[in-house]
Amino acid sequence: MRALRIPGLLEPEAVGPIAPSFETSMETPEEGEASMGPAPTPSPERPSAPRPRSVDEAQTRQLHGRIDELYRRIAGGAIPDPGSAEQALSWLKQAREALLKPDGYDEAEYYYSLALTRYAIARRLWRWSYTYGLFVFLWGLAWLGAYLWALTAGRGYSARVVPPGYEGIWEPIMWGGLGGVCGIFYSLYWHVAIRRDFDRQYVMWYLVQPILGSMIGMIIYMIITVGFFTIQGTPAPANPLFMYLIAFIAGFRQRFFLELIDRIVQTFTPNPRSGNS
């Protein structure tokens, strides 16, 4: 059968074969080639999670042993303060629980370090109490003996030290120093026997207590003899024991002395003016 010819149209033989496009060649493989399939789409890169530190069984057993040892020491009274001991035991419990987790070694080591630090501080304070604390105690005993000698057998020596007209200043100085020594013993008793938190950073405070107490006793003598109580409207006491008592209390508690000085300053200082003027 002859093909029908339509005027204005090309014959099929005149149209060359259509060249396959790039996409078509990718989708339709030639004969003898295997189909590659659709091109894979690249997936976004995910940040890799940090890998846990590799811990072998020996390290875990070793940490278990250290926790057990610290448990025994704290239970034996290595930390005298009950609150600190309870906190350290709580940290050890958390360390033991963390070791049961697959990746809990670092957490367990952290809690164990906290408990070990609390234990080390307690042991250090105990050691300071019977080294520096013992030195401070002997320091206070030496000053106590010196002041007692000055108030008894050393009264005759005061005539060669005290200038004329100030014979009464010797006893307030000694009683103020005795107050400082009493402050040393009381503070040692409180921080070594009761609180058990003696800190060597305060050794200088202990060393200056007798000297500062003597200076306070001397200033109180000058305040009373100048007539401060007469200025306040109260006659100066005739009994010198009142002066000694004030000197002792001021040497024992320096805050009392500071409050007394502040009272004197307020006496000679005019009242501040009120208002905006």
Residue 93 in this model has a pLDDT that exceeds 90: yes
CA angle, 258 then 248 then 231, to 5°? 55
Least confident of 20-34, 163-177, 205-219: 20-34
Please name which of 223, 236, 233, 212 lies closest in space to residue 265, comparing C-alpha atoms.
223
Q: Report pLDDT for 44.
A: 46
Mean pLDDT value across the chain: 79
Residue 20 in this model has a pLDDT that exceeds 80: no
Model confidence at 265, pLDDT cuts 50, 70, 90, reads confident
Q: Report pLDDT for 91.
A: 97
Helices (H), strands (E): how many in the chain?
A: 11, 0
Model confidence at 229, pLDDT cuts 50, 70, 90, reads low
Q: Which residue has the tokens 């610290």?
A: 70
What tens digit of pLDDT does each residue of 25-80 get? 444 444 444 444 444 444 445 444 444 556 788 999 999 999 999 999 999 989 98
> What average pLDDT does the segment 118-140 reach?
95
CA angle, 145 then 149 then 155, to 5°? 160
Residue 172 in this model has a pLDDT that exceeds 50: yes
CA distances from 111 to 60, 124, 135, 153, 274 (A): 14, 20, 36, 61, 58
> What average pLDDT does the segment 252-273 reach?
78
Model confidence at 273, pLDDT cuts 50, 70, 90, reads low
| pTM recorded for the entire structure | 0.68
The percent of residues in the chain predicted with pLDDT above 70, rounded, is 74
Give the max Cα distance, the chain.
Answer: 160
Residue 168 in this model has a pLDDT that exceeds 60: yes
- Structural contact between residues 74 and 88, judged by C-beta atoms closer than 8 angstroms: yes
Least confident of 33-47, 104-118, 127-141, 167-181: 33-47
What tens digit of pLDDT does each residue of 193-216 get? 998 899 999 999 999 999 999 999
The percent of residues in the chain predicted with pLDDT above 90, rounded, is 50
CA angle, 158 then 180 then 205, to 5°? 125
Model confidence at 126, pLDDT cuts 50, 70, 90, reads very high
> What average pLDDT does the segment 168-175 reach?
94
Q: And the tokens for 229?
A: 């109580």
Pick 157 or 11 by higher pLDDT.
157
- Structural contact between residues 183 and 209, judged by C-beta atoms closer than 8 angstroms: yes
